[in-house]
């Protein structure tokens, strides 16, 4: 099987050389491409992603009459090419959809699932009884969960799309074949992963040709991924979950493709995993009801478990609604935001996991519970962190809290896209392979990285004598912080927003909503504004641009530590008279790309 793949790669490379005189996979400089535009206003539909190619693909689908779901899947498949260290068919995600036809919000849970052989001690070294170091766990077969991204795309298209998966994959396959221009972010992500990538022959051949990352400004091609997309387009997702691709995934997990001569050194053994063909064949997406809270007259919909995004964003909004933020000073409003975030994270860590009962989730999102939590906030003094979780028991009225529980965070790398069409349908979609570069293993001959999503489980119990909701288990899905969010006003779309960033996703989405709904910012201003994240930790992490806010907050007892970058959001707002405002990051992660089908002059 792998020999045939290598021959296929050689043939594709030879054909490419003959037609373009470029070196295999990546090489030659390309003429300058249009720069990313972070803000666009206009008609006919809108797309916002972190990548120009993905946004262009999504807009082209809309121009040809496709709907938001068609465009979202095509754009996501393209991000699997151009943002391969953050997302792709080796990973999973959460898809939130507003249907203009029935004015309802739906979700698809495409989170990766644990193999049926995975137990609670999967990340504990049997030789020592201690948990593995994170990087030892991450760069291993143990870390890879059964991917859910392809199943998500297929489900979304069958339920709400107007095209099929094959058509949705073709634009991305073209991008993978013809290549795209390497930017500094792409090169840096490879450089940062060079030690891990260099341990595997398949990964180093693709991303470290000659032992070095491709130079910025050169063209990167991935013919193996193009061929994989076309194979799936022809044979359907069965080839991925039960056929030839499934066999290659399992072989990679069980027998990692360790290079005979690695590029660089790695401090840990490369441990195999136990994923089996039956695990892939068993995988199914879920379609749970979204979370919903009412906030200052808006209906805010998000993702339920195994994501904690809907719970944490929703609970924090319920807490914040107890105070009129617009009547406070900016320092006072930010203080409330940080305290509400810490309280919501305390409850997330204690109660939220794959098997959280829905009635418990609804209690966490109840107004009564929020009032009980909000009464702990002192406008003049920050709470000592970590704060204790509350008691979502249905009997509310005091300020009682239990014993503090430690903070739990997760990897930073994910990607997000937002799409709306001329009929008023909306997609907010966050997808990931967890850590930047996933588990470091490209499936040989297939061109995509596997995820390390299983490391989102807690390696050992974190809740003292209480049950930990996020320990590994057979078939279980690890807790996520992905928070794709759709906001309705009078039953119709007003705003959709999402972001990557691990557990900072929750605070980034929350801060954007507060900026837009409470503090008078436009959506582009809300996305661009300096960020700080409080996840029930001793220190608030703040970007450099947040520095002017620190003295006032420090006077209230908040402590700070630096973070180079928090999130990389995208969003779309529905304006009057059928106009769309699409917004992406102006700077973070190299800047995002926003576009509309028919731009308004000057946008």
DSSP symbols for 108-163: EEE--B--TT--TTTTB-TTTSSBPPHHHHHSSSTTPPBP-HHHHHHHHHHHH-SS
Determine what percent of the chain falls in helix, strand and coil, rounding each to the nearest 5. 40, 20, 45
For residue 189, what is the enclosing H or E element?
A: helix 184-192
State the catalytic residue, choosing from 152, 414, 415, 432.
414
The CA distance from 433 to 412, in Å, is 10
CA distances (Å), origin 588, targets 404, 445, 550? 34, 33, 21
Residue spans of alpha helices (H) in 473-588: 504-517, 523-528, 550-554
Give per-residue burial for 105-120: e unless 16+ CB within 10 Å, then b: bbbbbbbbbbbbebeb
The CA distance from 95 to 107, in Å, is 6
Determine whether 44 is exposed, middle or buried from the number of CB atoms within 10 Å of its CB (0-12, 13-18, 19+): middle
The CA distance from 276 to 252, in Å, is 11
CB within 8 Å of 384: residues ≥ 6 apart? none
The answer to whether the beta carbons of residues 169 and 233 sit under 8 Å apart is yes
Active site (annotated) includes residue 414: yes
Other beta carbons less than 10 A from residue 393's beta carbon: 11
Q: Which of 485, 423, 417, 416 is nearest to 66 (CA)?
A: 423
Determine whether 286 is exposed, middle or buried from the number of CB atoms within 10 Å of its CB (0-12, 13-18, 19+): middle
Determine whether 379 is exposed, middle or buried from the number of CB atoms within 10 Å of its CB (0-12, 13-18, 19+): exposed
The CA distance from 337 to 487, in Å, is 19
Do the strands 426-432 and 485-489 form a parallel or antiparallel pair, or are they unpaired? Answer: unpaired
The CA distance from 485 to 364, in Å, is 18
Longest CA–CA separation in the chain, Å: 75
Give the phi and the psi of residue 304 in degrees, each rounded to 5: -80, -175
The answer to whether the beta carbons of residues 86 and 93 sit under 8 Å apart is no
Catalytic positions, written as ranges: 414
């Amino acid at each position: 099987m792998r020999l045939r793949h290598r021959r296929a790669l050689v043939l594709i490379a030879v054909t490419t050389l003959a037609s373009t005189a470029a070196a295999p996979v990546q090489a030659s400089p390309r003429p300058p491409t249009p720069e990313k535009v972070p803000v666009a206003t206009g008609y006919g539909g809108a797309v916002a992603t972190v990548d120009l190619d993905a946004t262009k693909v999504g807009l082209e689908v809309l121009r040809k009459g496709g709907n938001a779901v068609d465009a979202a899947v095509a754009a996501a498949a393209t991000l699997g090419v151009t943002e391969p260290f953050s997302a792709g068919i080796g990973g999973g995600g959460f898809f939130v959809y507003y249907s203009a036809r029935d004015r309802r919000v739906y979700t698809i849970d495409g989170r990766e699932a644990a193999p049926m052989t995975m137990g609670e001690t999967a990340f504990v070294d049997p030789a020592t009884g201690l948990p593995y170091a994170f990087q030892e766990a991450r760069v291993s077969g143990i870390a890879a969960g059964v991917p859910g991204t392809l199943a998500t795309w297929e489900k979304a298209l069958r339920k709400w799309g107007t095209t099929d998966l094959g058509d949705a994959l073709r634009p991305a396959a073209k991008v993978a074949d013809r290549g795209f221009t390497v930017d500094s972010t792409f090169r840096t992500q490879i450089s940062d992963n060079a030690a891990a990538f260099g341990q595997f022959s398949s990964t180093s051949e693709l991303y470290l040709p000659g032992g070095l990352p491709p130079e910025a400004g050169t063209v990167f091609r991935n013919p193996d991924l193009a061929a994989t997309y076309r194979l799936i387009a022809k044979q359907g997702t069965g080839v991925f979950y039960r056929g030839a691709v499934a066999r290659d995934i399992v072989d990679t997990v069980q027998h990692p493709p360790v290079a005979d001569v690695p590029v660089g050194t790695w401090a840990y053994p490369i441990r195999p995993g136990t994923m089996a063909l039956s695990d892939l064949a068993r995988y199914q997406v879920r379609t749970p009801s979204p979370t919903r809270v009412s906030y200052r007259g808006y209906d805010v919909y998000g993702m339920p478990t195994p994501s904690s995004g809907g719970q944490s964003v929703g609970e924090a909004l319920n807490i914040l609604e107890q105070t009129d933020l617009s009547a406070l000073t900016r320092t006072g409003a930010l203080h409330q935001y940080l305290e509400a975030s810490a309280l919501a994270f305390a409850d997330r860590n204690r109660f939220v996991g794959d098997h959280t009962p829905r009635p418990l989730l609804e209690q966490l999102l109840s107004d009564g519970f929020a009032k009980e939590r909000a009464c702990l906030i002192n406008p003049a003094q920050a709470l000592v962190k970590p704060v204790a979780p509350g008691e979502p028991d249905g009997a509310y009225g005091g300020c009682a809290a239990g014993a503090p529980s430690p903070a739990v965070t997760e990897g930073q790398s994910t990607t997000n896209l937002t799409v709306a069409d001329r009929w008023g349908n909306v997609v907010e979609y966050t997808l990931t392979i967890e850590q930047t570069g996933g588990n470091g293993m490209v499936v040989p001959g297939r061109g995509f990285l596997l995820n390390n999503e299983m490391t989102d489980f807690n390696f050992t119990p974190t809740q003292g004598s209480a049950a930990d909701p996020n320990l590994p288990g057979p078939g279980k899905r690890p807790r996520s912080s992905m928070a794709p969010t759709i906001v309705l006003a009078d039953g119709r779309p007003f705003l959709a927003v999402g972001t990557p960033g691990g557990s900072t996703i929750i605070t980034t989405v929350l801060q954007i909503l507060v900026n837009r709904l409470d503090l008078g910012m436009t959506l582009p201003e809300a996305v661009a504004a300096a960020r700080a994240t409080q996840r029930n930790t001793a220190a608030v992490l703040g970007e450099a641009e947040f520095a002017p806010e620190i003295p006032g907050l420090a006077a209230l007892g908040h402590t700070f530590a630096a973070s180079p970058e928090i999130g990389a959001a995208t969003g779309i707002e529905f304006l009057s008279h059928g106009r769309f405002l699409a917004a992406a990051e102006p700077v973070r992660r190299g800047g995002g790309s926003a576009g509309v089908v028919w731009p308004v002059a000057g946008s």
